[in-house]
Amino acid sequence: MAKNSRLVYSTDSGRMCPDCGEPAHVGPCAKISTVPSGDGIVRIKRETKGRKGAGVSLVEGVQLAEKELSTLAKRLKQVCGSGGALKNGVIEIQGDHREKLKAELEKQGFKVKLAGG
């Protein structure tokens, strides 16, 4: 039987942060990097799966922190004149706007590839 070494509560300091092991703190853990890792290439693809035929453009692999990613998503939605969302680090833009998105992201200095067909 393996021993679970993750401490969740200490009688000295109370609840422990599950990410860093320090006493619990408010907000996200500062010791964990909020910038996702990847190969540095932003990929744009069109997807209709699970959307009843309505297509969305997905922007994946943007290596920015959550706040900057949210600002970028807002800017991309404005450029396309369309709605969208930010889900799990992936920007979703309603409709097929791959070329507009590619042009805007390259203008902002990202290395971009169109993925899929």
CATH number assigned to the domain comprising residue 60: 3.30.780.10
Q: What is the pLDDT of residues 17-58, one digit of tens each?
A: 766 767 776 666 655 555 555 678 899 999 888 778 788 999
Specify the higher pLDDT residue, 112 or 22: 112
Whether residue 65 is found in the same domain as residue 98: yes
Q: What is the mean pLDDT of the chain?
A: 80
Q: Does 74 score more than 50 pLDDT?
A: yes
Q: Does 62 score more than 80 pLDDT?
A: yes
Whether residue 48 is found in the same domain as residue 104: yes
Q: Which residues 6+ apart lie within 8 Å of 7 measured at CB?
A: 16, 21
Q: Is 50 left (phi over 0), alpha (psi -120 to 50) or beta?
A: left
Residue type, 77: K
pLDDT at site 76: 94
Question: How many C-beta atoms surround the C-beta of residue 36 within 10 A?
Answer: 15
Whether residue 63 is found in the same domain as residue 99: yes
Whether residue 6 is found in the same domain as residue 61: no
- Let me know: does 57 contact 92? Beta carbons within 8 Å: yes
pLDDT grade, residue 116 (50/70/90)?
Answer: confident
Domain enclosing residue 47, as ranges: 34-114
- Let me know: does 58 contact 91? Beta carbons within 8 Å: yes
Burial class (CB in 10 A: 0-12, 13-18, 19+), 67: exposed
Rounded to the nearest 10°, the torsion over CA 89, 61, 96, 72 is: 60
pLDDT grade, residue 78 (50/70/90)?
Answer: very high
Whether residue 75 is found in the same domain as residue 100: yes
pLDDT at site 88: 86
d(CA 35, CA 65): 5
Whether residue 22 is found in the same domain as residue 60: no
pLDDT at site 32: 53
Q: Global pTM?
A: 0.67
Domain count, the chain: 2
Mean pLDDT of 63-82: 91
